[in-house]
């Protein structure tokens, strides 16, 4: 069977991301995707080799979009401004693409070389931003893990309705990142004394 004219991997991934964002990542199946694209499920096999392959490609697609958003947010900024930019871009991505964001976390195999490659680009970008604070080697990676934990934790709690108090979430998020930055400056002072 030849591929449908106009149907390519990019179109499939955009449709899958739309389904995930609307109905949740776990609701994306080959059948639901084929229905959205108005094709028969077997036509998808010209582009993806099963559900795990689709999920892997969705994870890569989501990570690439996230990397692009983070890069755009960091360009021309340094220090606290750059970290706040990264944080805001990360949270905006998770808010705009909740299902696709979930795909980046729930990859079929996080050790897959293609997923690791784009994931490493994100880590390297954050390491570059954090070089402003003079952190190197393992210290820099520990601080990257901390930032990722903050960003993912906040985004995940928000997506699952975990913040029930009537306080502005953006203010809470800004204060959380400010506290993280104060911790980095404290670590910086310890290293230089």
CA distance 45 to 90: 32
The per-residue pLDDT for 2 is 42
CA distance 33 to 15: 7
Within a domain: 103: yes
Query: Which of 6-10, 12-16, 82-86, 96-100 shows the lowest per-residue confidence on average (mean pLDDT)?
Result: 6-10
Element holding 10 (H helix, E strand): helix 9-23
The per-residue pLDDT for 108 is 74
Residue 130 reports pLDDT greater than 50: yes
Determine what percent of the chain falls in helix, strand and coil, rounding each to the nearest 5: 75, 0, 25
Output the six-digit token pair for 164. Answer: 């029930």
Output the six-digit token pair for 70. Answer: 């983070």
Domain count, the chain: 1
Reported confidence tier of residue 121, pLDDT bands at 50, 70, 90? very high
Element holding 106 (H helix, E strand): none
Note the pLDDT tens digit of each residue in 60-71. Answer: 999 999 999 999
Within a domain: 146: yes
Within a domain: 43: no
* Residue keyed to tokens 């990859």: 107
Within a domain: 6: no
CA distance 136 to 131: 7
pTM of the predicted structure, to 2 decimals:
0.91
The CATH code of the domain that includes 134 is: 1.10.357.10
Closest CA to 85 of 179, 177, 192: 177
Within a domain: 10: no
Q: What's the mean pLDDT when you consider all of the chain?
A: 92
Within a domain: 23: no
CA distance 88 to 177: 10
Within a domain: 34: no
CA distance 82 to 80: 5
Within a domain: 62: yes
Segments forming the whole domain that contains residue 128 = 51-191
The per-residue pLDDT for 137 is 83
């Amino acid at each position: 069977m030849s591929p449908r004219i106009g149907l390519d991997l990019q179109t499939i991934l955009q449709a899958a991301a739309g389904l995930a964002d609307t109905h949740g990542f776990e609701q994306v199946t080959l059948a639901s995707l084929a229905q959205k694209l108005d094709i028969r499920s077997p036509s998808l096999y010209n582009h993806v080799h099963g559900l795990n392959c689709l999920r892997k490609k969705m994870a890569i697609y989501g990570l690439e979009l996230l990397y692009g958003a983070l890069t755009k947010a960091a360009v021309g900024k340094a220090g606290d401004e750059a970290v706040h930019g990264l944080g805001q871009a990360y949270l905006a991505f998770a808010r705009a693409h909740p299902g696709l964001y979930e795909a980046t976390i729930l990859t079929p195999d996080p050790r897959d070389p293609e997923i690791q490659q784009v994931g490493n680009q994100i880590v390297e970008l954050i390491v570059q931003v954090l070089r402003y604070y003079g952190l190197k080697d393992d210290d820099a990676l520990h601080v990257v893990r901390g930032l990722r934990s903050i960003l993912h934790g906040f985004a995940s709690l928000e997506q699952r309705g975990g913040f029930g108090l009537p306080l502005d979430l953006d203010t809470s998020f800004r204060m959380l990142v400010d506290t993280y930055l104060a911790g980095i400056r404290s670590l910086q002072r310890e290293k230089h004394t």
